[in-house]
Amino acid sequence: MSTAPAADPRRLLLLVDDLASVHAEVGEARTHALLAAVVDAASHAVVDLADGRVSPSTATSVPPESGAHGHIGRPSCSAAAASLRRVRSEVLRLTPCPPHPSSTLRTDLLQCLADLADALQRLAVATPGSRPRSVLLGVHRTLRRCHRCLQPPDTLSS
């Protein structure tokens, strides 16, 4: 296992609580379950960064879908996007830039947080005439990609 020094592990660990409070009404049970899995994976990634790891150490699974299809809560999507952007900003501030940034957990986490925040904000501003269903499909694709990106390398072939 390769490690890198973390700038401030205690402050990084406080961000896990911020991530745990991220919630958005995304309209579908399967998308909601995947959002929970990505937030969980991002939380584990923050802990890994605090421990100085440069790759994910904990595999996370997508919980079973629960509940029926709900509505899209635009305010909750916007609030979740803002929270993710704030966490991303803090991760960026609290962690050192690695010598090879294209191949690290830090880079992957920062990209996933940005992509997820952007996707949720698109869902928040989608109007009924803008085909929110197609926007929701884009959110789902982003969630799947982010979830895969934040898994340990040895679990990707499983």
Give pLDDT tens digits for 51-87. Answer: 988 889 999 998 776 665 678 888 999 999 999 999 9
Cα separation of 7 and 31, whole Å? 34
Q: Are 147 and 38 in contact (CB under 8 A)?
A: yes
Which candidate, 142, 98, 78, places its Cα nearest to that of 6? Answer: 98
Q: For the whole model, what pTM was predicted?
A: 0.86
Length of the chain: 158
Which residues are paired to 53 by β-bridges? 3
* pLDDT on residue 113: 98
Rounded-to-10 torsion of CA 66, 57, 52, 20: 10
Cα separation of 95 and 59, whole Å? 22
Which candidate, 43, 47, 54, places its Cα nearest to that of 83? Answer: 43
* pLDDT on residue 1: 47
Residue type, 84: L
Per-residue pLDDT, averaged over 23-39, amounts to 90
* pLDDT on residue 102: 59
Q: Are 51 and 6 in contact (CB under 8 A)?
A: yes
The yes-or-no verdict on residue 6 having pLDDT over 60 is no
Q: Are 143 and 31 in contact (CB under 8 A)?
A: yes
* pLDDT on residue 147: 96
The yes-or-no verdict on residue 45 having pLDDT over 90 is yes
Q: Are 1 and 53 in contact (CB under 8 A)?
A: yes
Residue type, 56: P
Q: Residue 99: in which H helix or E strand, if any?
A: none
The yes-or-no verdict on residue 7 having pLDDT over 90 is no
Give pLDDT tens digits for 98-150. Answer: 666 556 899 999 999 999 999 999 988 886 666 667 888 889 899 999 999 99
